[in-house]
Structure 1
Amino acid sequence: MRHLIRGILLCACLCLGACMGLGRTETTIPTALIAAPQATAQRVLVVVLPGRGDDLEGLRRSGIAEAIQGAWPEADVELVAMTMPYYFEGRMPQRLHSEVIEPARRRGYAGIWLAGASMGGMGTLLYERQYPGQLDGLVLMAPYLGDRGLIREIAAKGLKNWSPGAEPVAIDAGNYQREVWRDVQAWSGSGRSKRAWLAYGDADRLARAMPALRPALVADQVLVRPGGHAWVVWSPAAGEIFARIRAAR
């Protein structure tokens, strides 16, 4: 897993731009809990993972918490500063599970959603792959989905007909992208597809990868909005998504 996450980090850096300083990890992942404006007995939580260039303060400024709670005022929002060093450390899904998701379950939340932007979108997929069914839903905001060659390969075959190849003995930096896509491929026609949402801008630099993912999702759970690779697109779109989720509940 350590080599896997390092591979993700390096590929994401190449795709999203030059790496910033990697920084360091903390003994406990920094988080900020924004309490629901309207508390209810049936408590729900939305956990938000940052993009490549965000830290906890960046998440606060992004408007994502306000957008979610504007749509769903009964929801707590937990901003999680799972920045690049946590991926590079090699234990990103495990630490998210043990330090954020499991403690939230113990606090008695009736529902937990995970939302991730850009590299945080890949983090969301990695968590779902390792802990399938642990979450009530996933919100992917312009997720990083892997290198262009693999995306072209999947798009040419179509996700349903694409073959990821023999399942490897171990996951590493050379095969992790295929294994994430292998898992996503299994969503089609299952209840897992109904729990996933996708939002991105029509001018997003990662938009070319999104059509390969869309067959795994319910069509009306994909939102394409004007704009690029930025929170000014993702936060309002997330508000729309969580308004729909609340209405369905």
Structure 2
Amino acid sequence: MTQPLRCLRAERGAADLLVLLPGAYMRPEDFVEAGFFAEVERRDLALDLCAVAVDMATVSDGRAAEAVRQQLLAPARQSHERVWLGGISLGGLMTLEITAGHPDLVDGLCLIAPYPGSRLVTNAIASAGGIDNWAPTAEALRDPDARVWHWLKAPPPDRPVFVGHGRQDRFAEGMAQIAERFLPASRHEVEGDHDWPAWRALWSRFLDTGHFATRSH
């Protein structure tokens, strides 16, 4: 039986819920300590948050993504008008994996420094001359990273997306290739590396994009 996911929540009955998926070896508490929850409060935004703990052992075999879908996203369809999914680094890749498999569960994406996935897939895309020329086999699409990139060939144009990374991030090239699959207004770069200062700057920029109303008093 799948264990219940451990979450930290800040919910006040907003129309929008954002489920935040962590990077590798990251805790939900890290989002709080980095000020993610406080920045929503400071802006008085009508946005509920749910930061999730993910066991790394369950990521590669898909159990983590399925648990997020079953335990959080599907129920959120009943409690919120709009359900956003987002994450940092590996959490960003998981966000894309879940969205590619179940696009009906997700209304918007917040991708902060999304990890581009395995080099096996990204090298195959490069060898093909880019994602538009890449034609993965059915066997290749058994790899969840390949399914993410296959979905990125033609993502829905009407879904609100935020995707950003630090200019000095060691994965910046792959992250830029992800960002290029979305509309220019969705793409953001800040100074910084694959670390919290850059991620905090991107989070602030995401909150200032105007997707969320201010709470009425």
Query: Shorter-chain TM-score category?
Result: 0.7 to 0.9
Structure 2 residue runs without a partner (length 5+): none
Give how far 1:155 is off.
4.8
Query: What does residue 191 of structure 1 align with?
Result: 157
Whole-angstrom CA distance in 2 between matches of 1:76 and 1:247: 10
Any conservation in 1 of the 2:179–2:186 contact (CA below 8 Å)?
Answer: no
Residue 34 of structure 1 aligns to which amino acid in structure 2?
A
Any conservation in 2 of the 1:113–1:137 contact (CA below 8 Å)?
Answer: yes
Match of 1:60 among 32, 37, 51: 32
Residue 191 of structure 1 aligns to which amino acid in structure 2?
P
Would you identify which runs of 4 or more consecutive aligned residues in structure 1 move more than 4 Å? none
Whole-angstrom CA distance in 2 between matches of 1:167 and 1:51: 29
Give how far 1:214 is off.
2.7
Alignment of 1:1-249 (within 5 A): 27-36=3-12, 43-71=15-43, 73-88=45-60, 90-106=62-78, 108-148=79-119, 150-155=121-126, 157-160=129-132, 162-168=133-139, 171=142, 175-187=143-155, 190-191=156-157, 194-246=159-211
Deviation by residue 1:55-89 (Cα, 9 ceiling, x = unmatched): 12223212222234445611111111123133155
Any conservation in 1 of the 2:19–2:84 contact (CA below 8 Å)?
Answer: yes
TM-score, length-scaled by structure 2:
0.85
Whole-angstrom CA distance in 1 between matches of 2:69 and 2:201: 27
Residue 220 of structure 1 aligns to which amino acid in structure 2?
A
Whole-angstrom CA distance in 1 between matches of 2:44 and 2:2: 31
Residue 89 of structure 2 aligns to which amino acid in structure 1?
S
Cα distance change, pair 70–176 in 1 and its aligned pair in 2 (3 A):
same
Report the RMSD for the aligned CA atoms in angstroms. Answer: 2.6
Residue 96 of structure 2 aligns to which amino acid in structure 1?
L
Cα distance change, pair 218–239 in 1 and its aligned pair in 2 (3 A):
same
Cα distance change, pair 138–56 in 1 and its aligned pair in 2 (3 A):
same
Cα distance change, pair 26–178 in 1 and its aligned pair in 2 (3 A):
closer
Give how far 1:103 is off.
2.0
Any conservation in 1 of the 2:2–2:67 contact (CA below 8 Å)?
Answer: no
Whole-angstrom CA distance in 2 between matches of 1:68 and 1:205: 28
Whole-angstrom CA distance in 2 between matches of 1:29 and 1:234: 24
Question: Secondary structure of 1:191's match?
Answer: coil
Q: How many corresponding residue pairs?
A: 213
Any conservation in 2 of the 1:54–1:83 contact (CA below 8 Å)?
Answer: no
| Larger helix percent | 1
Residue 209 of structure 1 aligns to which amino acid in structure 2?
G
